[in-house]
Amino acid sequence: MSRAAYTTVRTARTSTEADQIIVRLRDAGLHPLDLSMSADFTLAGAEPAFPVQVAATEAAAAQALLDSCDRPAPEP
């Protein structure tokens, strides 16, 4: 799949945070781009953020999953 077929669904501040997001997406059956494939990751210091990208066809599902993880748990 060409790089143009990927879209950023979240931008992490650290590579560790990006890795956690990628694992969460993979656990849900989605296919995020490996962080090591990101130009931001391979060019040390080029960017202080790490974009997490998925195939454009999975972007809506990935965004919905990440948004649901961001919501606080309902109070009992």
- Position 21 scores a pLDDT of 94
Distances (CA, A) of 25 to 16, 21, 33, 43, 53: 14, 6, 10, 24, 10
pLDDT > 60? residue 1: no
The CA distance from 3 to 5, in Å, is 5
Indicate the average pLDDT of the chain. Answer: 82
Which residue, chain included where needed, has tokens 């993979």?
26
Structure pTM? 0.75
pLDDT tens digit string along 36-58?
766 555 555 555 788 899 999 99
- Position 34 scores a pLDDT of 87
The CA distance from 76 to 54, in Å, is 35
